Amino acid sequence: MLELLNNPISTCSQKVRLTLHEKGIAFTDRPVDFRTKEHLTPKYLAINPDGVVPSLLHDDRIILDSSVIMEYLDEVFPDVPLTPPDAYGRAKMRKWLRFIEEVPTVAIRIPSFNQVFLRHRKGLSDDELSADTNARTLRRTFYREMGRDGFSEPRLQESYDRLRETVTRMDEALADREWLCGDLSLADFCVVPTIDRMRDLGLDVIWEEKPHMKRWWAAMQERPAYGATYYEGTRVTDIYDEIGEPA
């Protein structure tokens, strides 16, 4: 029995759903409501003390961290493998995973919050803002820096630079191969939610002149797993009528 505790618009949740659907693994999709702060309740924190999604429940076992969950699923359910069969290939894939986790996954949060999620903090009193910030077990520093008015312009521009670097590296890697590691792998699915969010925020101009990356992106969107993952309500533009313009 697999149960995925996740949120539809969470990019980290999306990459795990992509993996599950690509591998054809049956699971129970259990939404965690961000608006009621379900992910910060004692019940959820008893499962995931970081207070983030997703969390995977596999029988009586709890697996945390989206990239760890992806690798776990590929090891436990080896049909439709998404990891290279040789040690060198796995090393190259894991290098991509580390880069994606540390660079674009972190960078996309800055414009996401500035353009979309910041609105939920605008009307908070000082005490409410402090309480909301302090409730964030893993990302307290992130919320403290964001404050009520959002991230600074230099911080925002740094995030755009990191996203451009990601797209440039992808385009270069894809010049002589179909997927990031040759064969389709976890690395491809790990980066998809960031690319999809970039497009949702109006940042797709970043890859306008990246032909290899554009070809990869078109092919990825044709996969059934992509369609199953991105149902109505999984993008910020599905939920919010007005999205702030990117700088």
Residue recorded with tokens 């997927």: 179
Q: Residue 3: how many CA atoms within 13 Å on its side-chain side?
A: 10
Q: Which CATH class is domain 2-76?
A: alpha beta
Residue recorded with tokens 């990019």: 11
12 within 8 A of 68, measured Cβ to Cβ: no
Residues 6+ apart with CB under 8 A from 202: 243, 245, 246
User: How do the domains of the chain map onto residue ranges?
Assistant: 2-76
* 2: its two tokens: 């697999």
Which residues of the chain have a pLDDT value below 70? 244-247
pTM of the full structure = 0.96
51 within 8 A of 136, measured Cβ to Cβ: yes
pLDDT at position 247 is 55
Instruction: Give the C-alpha separation, 93 to 67, whole Å.
Output: 12
The one-character DSSP state at 234 is: S
Instruction: Give the C-alpha separation, 182 to 20, whole Å.
Output: 21
pLDDT at position 145 is 95
H/E run at residue 238: helix 236-239
The pair phi, psi for residue 56, each rounded to 5°, is -110, 130
Instruction: Give the C-alpha separation, 199 to 206, whole Å.
Output: 9
Strand arrangement, sheet containing 28-31: 28-31, 2-6, 55-58, 61-64
